Amino acid sequence: MSTPLVRLGYCRQEVNKTTWEVPERYRDLRQVGTGAYGTVCSAVDSRAGVKVAIKKLHRPFQSELFAKRAYRELRLLKHMKHENVIGLLDVFTADLSLDRFHDFYLVMPFMGTDLGKLMKLQRLSEDKIQYLVYQMLKGLKYIHSAGIIHRVRHVLLHSMCFLSWQILDFGLARQADSEMTGYVVTRWYRAPEVILSWMHYTQTVDIWSVGCIMAEMLQGKPLFKGSDHLDQLNEIMKITGTPTQEFISKLQSDDAKSYIKSLPRVEKKDLLEVFSKVNPQAVSVLERMLLLDPDSRVTAAEALTLPFFSEFREPGEETEAQPYDHSLDNADLPMDQWKRHTFTEILSFKPITLESKETSL
10 Å Cβ neighbour count for 346? 19
Name 263's Cβ contacts closer than 8 Å, sequence gap at least 6. Answer: 237, 242
Count the neighbouring beta carbons within 10 Å of the beta carbon of residue 304: 22
DSSP-assigned states of every residue in 2-33: PPPPPPTTEEEEEETTEEEEEETTEEEEEEEE
CA dihedral 239, 242, 246, 250 (to 10 degrees): 90
Is there a contact between 86 and 168 (Cβ–Cβ < 8 Å)? yes
Residues 6+ apart with CB under 8 A from 155: 167, 168, 169, 170, 172, 173
Per residue in 68-95, is it b (16+ CB within 10 Å) or e — as a string? bbbbbbbbbbbbbebebbbbbbbbbbbb
Please answer whether residues 217 and 133 qualify as being in contact, where contact means their C-beta atoms are separated by less than 8 angstroms.
Answer: yes
Taking the C-alpha atoms of residue 159 and residue 138, their distance in angstroms, rounded to an integer, is 16
138 annotated ligand-binding residue? no
Summarize the annotated binding site as residue ranges.
Answer: 56
Summarize the annotated binding site for ATP as residue ranges.
Answer: 56
